[in-house]
Amino acid sequence: MKEAVFHRVWEDRHFRTLDWRTTDGTPVRLVEPGVRNPGAGPDFRFAVVEIGGLRWCGDVELHVTCADWYRHGHHTDPIYNRALLHVVWEEHDAGPVLRADGTACPTVVAGGAVRAGALTHWKRAGRWNRPACHGMLADVPEAVVMAQLEAASAEYFDRKCGDVAAFWTGGPDEDEAWRRAVGMALFDALGIPRNRLAMRDLFVRIARWDSTAPWFEEAVLKEAEPLGWEYAGARPASAPRVRIRQAARLWARLRPPGAGEDLRAGFERWVAGAGLGPERRGVVYRNVWCAGAALRQPAAAARAWRASADPVPEASARPLRAAGFPPAAEHHAGTPWMMRGWCGPKRCGQCRIGRHLTDSGDRD
C-alpha cells in the first residue's frame, strides 16, 4: 500500500462506514476529510471528526503503519501537536502516538473499512497521462459515461465563459468592448498549445489598429516578428505565421452576433475562408464564439455549446478513446475538459464514472 493511495481514499471518503473506534475503544466518526496540506505538517487540514461524541475541527495525519509516525519524526516536531487524529492503514502494532508536547494523539485503523472497488481504482490512478478508469469502462453503463461528459461540458463552458469575461475591459462602446474581449480569446485559442502568451502579447499591440485597412494583415505579421515564437512540434498548418495570419483575418471580421441570430450560422459566416482545420474550428467555435456570445446571450450560447458536434483535439480524444470511452466522446464538448479538468487532476471521487467503479466493489 502506498500512502498516496490512502490519501486519495481518505479525501474521497471511500469507506464502507464512517464510524470507527480508536485503538483504545473511543468512538470516532468522520464528518469532513479536510483539505490537503501542501506544506509542512499533518496531511489534511480543517478536517471535521467526532471523537467520543465531541465534534472537532483540526488536522489529521495518515500513515500506512503506526510506526511511521515515529519513523517520520513527528513525535519530536511541534507542528504535529495540532494533529487531532492519526489514521493508519494496517492494524499491526497500532495504538495512540505521542506528540512533541507529550500528549497522546488517538489512532484509528481504517484500512479494513475501505471499499474494495476504491482500492483497485486508486491503485490504477497513479498514471497521470491516462484516465484511472482505463480498461475498466466495460463495467460502466454508457449512460453513466455520457452523463459525466455532460458534467465536464457544463463545467468547461463556465470556465471558458469566465476566461472571456476576464478579458472584458469595458468602455462607452459595448460592441467594441465585446470585440476586444473575444479578440483576446481568439488570439489565445490560435496560440494553443505553445504560443498563447506570444499571441496575447501580439493582440495587445494591434487591438487598436484599423483592422479594415488593406495593410492590416501584413502589418500584424511584421509586428509579430520580434516576439518569441515556439516552432518545435508545429505542423505546417499550425505554424506561428499561419496562425497569426488567421487571427488577423478573423479579428478584422469579428462582430457581435445579433439578438436572435443563429449562433452556428453566424460562426460559419465569420470563419469562412479563414483556413481553420476541423479541430481548430471546434476550439474557436466553443472557446471563442460560444463563450463570447455568452457575454450577451448566455442561454443561447449554452445551447449552442451543448449542440456542438465538432471534432475535439486529438490530444484530448486519444487518451479517452484508449480508455474505452464511446465514439461520441470524440465530438463531445466535454471531452477536452474531461482529461485536463477531471482525469488529469484525479477527481475520480467526484466523477460519475469513478463513483460507479468504486461503489461496484460493495455491490459485487
pLDDT per residue, tens digit, the chain (364 aa), is 678 778 878 887 888 888 999 999 999 999 888 888 877 889 998 888 999 999 998 899 999 999 999 999 999 999 999 999 999 998 777 788 999 999 999 999 988 888 766 666 655 554 445 788 888 898 899 999 999 999 999 999 999 999 999 888 888 899 999 999 999 999 999 998 888 889 999 999 999 999 999 999 999 999 999 988 988 767 788 899 999 999 999 999 999 999 889 999 999 999 999 999 999 999 999 999 999 999 999 999 999 999 999 999 888 898 899 889 999 999 999 999 998 888 877 788 889 999 898 875 554 4
Rounded to 5 degrees, φ, ψ at 52 are 60, 30
CA distances from 106 to 7, 62, 85, 206, 250 (A): 18, 12, 5, 63, 64
Least Cα distance to 170 among 162, 182, 178, 159 occurs for 178
Cell of 292: 463570447
Question: Whole-angstrom Cα distance, residue 242 to residue 297?
Answer: 31
Strand, coil or helix: what is 211? coil
